[in-house]
Chains A and B, each alone.
Chain A
Amino acid sequence: DTAVSQTPKYLVTQMGNDKSIKCEQNLGHDTMYWYKQDSKKFLKIMFSYNNKELIINETVPNRFSPKSPDKAHLNLHINSLELGDSAVYFCASSQGAPQLFFGEGSRLTVL
């Protein structure tokens, strides 16, 4: 059983489109995150939710909208995709301790 799973794993789309990435964790954790990893492997936190409530919202364009229907799920919707949005997006979770559990990543390519 995969602890943190993301879908889709690969996403190729045109500029201007809207797309979503889904994340689910079966670890029973209260906190979930979205991280963006650029082509140089640099990781930057985008959002964090704790028990469905937004607790971290870094400087991210408002075209990015997270949604947490319950504490096991955190989805990321991106409107009006731009070339610069091409990256690998990682979902992660944690529970009261500073250790993150990551999904395998979703590689988004915007053409």
Chain B
Amino acid sequence: GDSVTQMEGPVTLSEEAFLTINCTYTATGYPSLFWYVQYPGEGLQLLLKATKADDKGSNKGFEATYRKETTSFHLEKGSVQVSDSAVYFCALSVGTSYDKVIFGPGTSLSVIP
């Protein structure tokens, strides 16, 4: 079945460090891919998305490129801030079945000053 795999956390970085969170997926069709972020004590919110191969999603300094050949959607940010501390979820939805979004296990990021 369809699934999402993420690098295990927790990840701890110093402020202004470079961030990569790896995400790979398995899907039977052509999925749309997403990164959601969950700040402490809050619900998830969409960070960025990409709907077809080679698309790049970006928001708040974060970027991810939809790589069909490697079935990956790695999240990157050039310089993290303390306020980026959160749990990051990679997710997919397949074809026209927008009603089911499958989430990865989440990666916890802590940024220290």
Residues of B within 8 A of A94 (CB): 98-99
- Contact of B71 with A by CB under 8 A: no
Interface assignment of B49: CB less than 8 Å from any CB of chain A: yes
Q: Is the interface of A mostly helix, strand, loop or mixed?
A: strand
Q: How far is the CA of A88 from the CA of B49 in the complex (A)?
A: 25
* With A48-B99, A50-B99, A99-B49 as contacts: A40 and B43 at CB distance below 8 Å: no
- Measured in the bound complex, the distance between the Cα atoms of B98 and A104 in whole Å is 22
CB within 8 Å of A: which B52-85 residues: none
- Judge whether A98 and B43 touch: CB under 8 Å: no
Contact (A41, B42) CB under 8 Å given A96-B98, A98-B32 = no
Contact A41 B108 (CB under 8 A): yes
Q: CB of B27 within 8 A of chain A?
A: no
Closest to B102 in A: A45
> Is there contact, CB below 8 Å, between A41 and B43?
no
A-side residues, CB < 8 A to B, are 4, 31, 40-45, 48, 50, 55-56, 90, 92, 94, 96-105
Residue B25 is within 8 A (CB to CB) of chain A in the complex: no
Ranked nearest first, the 10 interchain pairs of A and B with the lowest CB-CB distance are: A102-B43, A98-B93, A41-B106, A43-B103, A98-B98, A102-B44, A104-B43, A98-B32, A42-B105, A48-B99
| Residue from B46, B49, B93, B103 with most neighbouring chain A CB atoms (10 Å) | B103
CB-defined interface of B7-45 with A at 8 Å, one 1/0 digit per residue? 000000000000000000000000010101010011111
**Size of chain B's interface in residues, with CB distance under 8 A?**
24
List the interface of chain B (C-beta within 8 A of A): 32, 34, 36, 38, 41-46, 49, 51, 87, 89, 93, 98-103, 105-106, 108
Chain B: CB-nearest residue to A90: B43
Q: Is the CB of B106 within 8 A of A100?
A: no
What residues on B are CB-neighbors of A48 within 8 Å?
A: 99-100
Q: Quote the shortest CB–CB distance from A22 to chain B (angstroms).
A: 15
Q: How far is the CB of B105 from chain A (nearest CB, A)?
A: 5
A102, B98: Cβ atoms closer than 8 Å = no
Which one, A40, A44, A100, contacts B44 given CB within 8 A? A100
Cα–Cα distance between A42 and B108 once the two chains are bound (Å): 11
